[in-house]
A and B are shown apart, each in its own frame.
Chain A
Amino acid sequence: MDYATLLQILDSTIRLGIPLLLACLAGLYSERAGIFDIGLEGKMLMAAMSSATVAALTGSVWIGLAAGIAGSMLFALVHGLASITFRGNQLISGVALNFVASGITVLIAQSIFAQGGRTAPLEGGARFLPIDLPFAEALQGVPILGPLYYEVISGHSILVYVGLLLVPLTWFVLYRTRYGLRLRAVGENPASVDTAGVSVRNLRYSAVMITGVLCGLAGAYMACGLQAGFGREMTAGRGYIALAALIFAKWRPWQALGATMLFGFFQALALRPDVVEAVVRVKVPVPALDALPYILTVVVLAGLVGKAIPPRAGGEPYVKER
């Protein structure tokens, strides 16, 4: 495999890893606050549909992005109501929302565009366009690093850079701010937060809404960046893969970056069966390559990567003891 091919694969890794990263960070906020969210998938799907629909109708990707975030936050709010206000089972709420999203997205897209559940293809200003970073052209001649910068780092859409910047930002929020301290505390022992005179409910709602925003970014990126429109079930289990990555990362932001990029790398490999064949010298069937990220998910969830201890109060509604 030559250097150019490697760069192409790394470039795809970032493109494909970003929705996972955004969804993974989304889950991180919610789960660190003690609210399990199996509904990342549904929120992404909802965001993908609403962003693509609105972008197609208005011709503006920015209005589409806002609509995507709004759609995702609506689902986040329902999950918050079910699991915080009404102290319901968080897994059931998440699964239910995934089912609802799966159906309602196709329903809405079909009733608006009548194209078999797809939205109209997006073009021009209705999509996120690649951004060339400063000096990308100029530095292309620099050996090794120049092409790396030009091919892999530069030339992605804005949400890719937003996603990457969210990693250090999340780390900072989590470990260096008052909000982060309280967020981590409420996921470990909500009673400690309650007796300190801080509202458990408000904290958890805020975390769940942040999850909504980030899933919104992930979904909008998929529909308006990675692809040009919404299609039925287009998230294809990425919400679940992001959850697996979150466990793999043990609910920490930098590790989440590593985990999601690993999954992204496997997805990128599946796009280049020729390269895989050249490297392993055996013809690997494409479906087997497609299955790689999912196999890794199963491996992670089976606990083969070491013990991951979730936030201790995760999944438990908080009830003041008498």
Chain B
Amino acid sequence: MPNAIPAIELKGISKSFGPVQANRDINISVPKGTIHGIIGENGAGKSTLMSILYGFYKADAGEILINGTLTAIPDSQSAIRAGIGMVFQHFKLVQNFTVLENVILGVEDGPLLKSSLSKARRVLADLSREYELDVNPDALIEDLSVGHQQRVEILKALYRQADILILDEPTGVLTPDEADHLFRILKGLKDQGKTIILITHKLREIMEATDNVSVMRRGTMVGNVKTAETSPEQLAELMVGRKVLLEVEKGTATPGEIVLKVENLRVRDEAGVERLKGISFELRKGEILGIAGVAGNGQSELLAALGGIHAASGRVTFKGGDLPLTGAGANGRARRDAGIGHIPEDRQSLGLIMDFTAWENMAFGYHTLPKYQKNLFEMDNNAIRQDTEAKMAMYDVRPPIPTLAAKNFSGGNQQKIVVAREIESDPEVLLVGQPTRGVDIGAIEFIHKEIIALRDAGKAILLVSVELDEILSLSDRIAVMFDGQIMGFKDPENTNERELGLLMAGVSGGAAK
């Protein structure tokens, strides 16, 4: 049973960065021995709040009570001393160190390493027995899978005798199986009396794993509820501040003729390693082909090769003609001219130029179109600006100011600019990478609707996403990628996360149905 004194109590925490108020008068109380979820859209202030708790930032106002005692946490060392451990979204591990070396870094017992290393070896053996946290203590981090690297982060925190463990978006990089394993570990930790804070934007994980959940919206805490007494719909509404449709409304597809045919597509990276090992598929008009897979299994290379950004070998036929895969003919603009639009995975480096204005960004890739030229030498900037205004209105980009730099829009609105640009240019085939990464729920709903509308207009869409929910709800067919190959095609109506998860982990056949 949870103790009466909460493990963590935050009172009136506020923090601003310049004019931006990231946290406003946050109150939260986390009982000992529970898993507490914190959910909220990107930029809602979750990470800032946790960074304050871990001593990365100093709050402008407010108090932190750990186990009932007022505690000042000016730096990470104090947080560690107060028994707080943090598993960051991006791991803080030294790649060419062993597991043991990473674990003792910063908490060595003396000036020489020998005794620390042997002590850590003993402690790690105990911990892994206790909590299903098996890792080889002598393995180099760079040789471990992402799931194992995450375990090292958890071991690091436990080795520092953390009683309170904060995990920031821990499942983003995991296969469903690995995520299940993680939740089993967290359960085990909870049963041993540890307190766990789980930061996530995935409603399903909150419902599955937590005892209580706090919802944040625009820097404030808008709800504290028991998980058992709430529903995903209610949480989504709290997060966004209005009713949200979680299920995508979508009619059945009416696939037409084949518009894009990919045969034996291969890509090598700069180091000469083969990243795509012979991919073949067909894409028909009026269908969405979803590519599922854990990040880094060749999806990015597939998009880059089809989008003309990266040289490839093999054969790609588009509307009956061969697409150049190398050389001068293979570039982003030639693809767009041919009718292949591309919403890149990383909008900040490939989709937009962050320092340029919205109207300039709205023209990129299409800036040579006749409608944007005033004469032989000058572009018609007014036409582009008017065009941008119209598109911003259609896609509800906020604020609707074409002269604002791309970096000054929120993630969701940046993505809407890219989506508007690509969809409104009316492509035959649209390549879509991670369309809703770092995008708030409200904008996700909107972007999903637009993608489906494009399909219903008879266009072909290749959707790459690491979010299985997104793949399952949008796709008409699903291909699962692992290690540069397609492991199999599935019908979203007749498959489930378990089966896809096995394929994503490289288990072919996907035995379980």
Contact = CB atoms under 8 A, between A and B. Distances in A.
9 contacts: A181-B101, A181-B105, A182-B106, A185-B105, A188-B96, A193-B106, A195-B86, A197-B77, A197-B106
Interface stretch (B109-117, B288-296, B428-436, B459-467): B109-117
A179 B105 CA distance: 10
Interface string B69-87: 0000001111110000010
The 4 closest A-B pairs by CB, nearest first: A196-B106, A197-B77, A178-B108, A197-B76
A201 interface: no
A192 B92 contact: yes
A189 B56 contact: no
Given A179-B111, A197-B80, 18 more contacts: A176-B114, A178-B111, A181-B105, A181-B108, A181-B113, A184-B97, A188-B95, A188-B96, A189-B92, A189-B93, A189-B94, A191-B92, A192-B94, A193-B105, A195-B92, A196-B92, A197-B106, A322-B17
Nearest to B55: A197
Contact of B95 (A178, A189, A193): A189
Range class of the B interface residue count: 20 to 34
B396 to A, nearest CB: 27
Given A195-B86, A196-B106, A177 B111 contact: yes
Contact of B106 (A176, A184, A198): A198
A188 B96 CA distance: 8
Of residues A176, A195, A312, A322, which shows the largest number of chain B Cβ atoms within 10 Å of its Cβ?
A: A195
Interface of B: 17, 48, 54, 56, 75-80, 86, 88, 90, 92-97, 101-102, 104-108, 110-114, 116
A179 B54 CA distance: 24
B102 A192 contact: yes
Contacts of A281: none
A168 B291 CA distance: 54
Interface of A: 176-182, 184-185, 188-189, 191-198, 312, 320, 322
A185 B94 contact: yes
B438 to A, nearest CB: 14
Q: Is the interface of B mostly helix, strand, loop or mixed?
A: loop
A252 to B, nearest CB: 12
B113 A182 contact: no
Contacts of A189: 92-95
A212 B258 CA distance: 67
Contacts of A312: 95
A106 to B, nearest CB: 43
A196 B76 contact: yes
Contacts of A192: 92-94, 102, 105
Contacts of B54: 195
A182 B96 CA distance: 13
A181 B106 CA distance: 9
A130 B104 CA distance: 45
Nearest to B102: A192
B113 A178 contact: yes
A160 to B, nearest CB: 28
A107 B8 CA distance: 64
A176 B77 contact: no
Nearest to A180: B113
A295 to B, nearest CB: 29
A178 B109 CA distance: 9
Contact of A177 (B75, B77, B79, B112): B112
A228 to B, nearest CB: 41
Contacts of B75: 197
A54 to B, nearest CB: 34
B112 to A, nearest CB: 6
Contacts of B88: 195
A198 B92 CA distance: 13
Contacts of B110: 178
Contact of A195 (B76, B95, B101, B114): B76
Contacts of B95: 188-189, 312
Nearest to A186: B94
Nearest to B54: A195
A194 B113 CA distance: 19
A322 B93 CA distance: 18
A180 B94 CA distance: 14
A222 B489 CA distance: 70
Nearest to B156: A196
A98 B237 CA distance: 62
Contacts of A193: 105-106
Contact of A188 (B76, B90, B94, B107): B94
Contact of A181 (B76, B77, B93, B104): B104
Contacts of B86: 195
A263 to B, nearest CB: 27
Given A176-B112, A177-B113, A196 B105 contact: yes
A75 B287 CA distance: 65
Contacts of B106: 182, 193, 196-198
B393 to A, nearest CB: 32
Contact of B112 (A178, A197, A198, A320): A178
A177 B76 CA distance: 23
Given A189-B92, A194-B76, A197-B77, A176 B97 contact: no
Nearest to B81: A197
B76 A185 contact: no
A320 B113 CA distance: 27
A158 B77 CA distance: 43
Contacts of B93: 189, 192
A254 B88 CA distance: 36
A100 to B, nearest CB: 34
B92 A182 contact: no
Contacts of A198: 77, 105-106
A176 B104 CA distance: 13
Contacts of A176: 112-114
Contacts of B114: 176
A235 to B, nearest CB: 33
B97 A188 contact: yes
Contacts of B17: 322
B156 to A, nearest CB: 8
A181 B77 CA distance: 18
Nearest to B75: A197
A188 B86 CA distance: 20
A196 B94 contact: no
Nearest to B47: A322
A58 B439 CA distance: 71
A312 B141 CA distance: 14
A192 B93 CA distance: 6
A176 B80 CA distance: 25
Contact of A182 (B79, B80, B105): B105
Contacts of B101: 181
Nearest to A172: B112
Contacts of A178: 108, 110-113, 116
A221 B107 CA distance: 39
A28 to B, nearest CB: 16
Of residues B79, B80, B93, which shows the largest number of chain A Cβ atoms within 10 Å of its Cβ?
A: B93
A185 B103 CA distance: 12
A192 B106 CA distance: 9
A178 B108 CA distance: 7
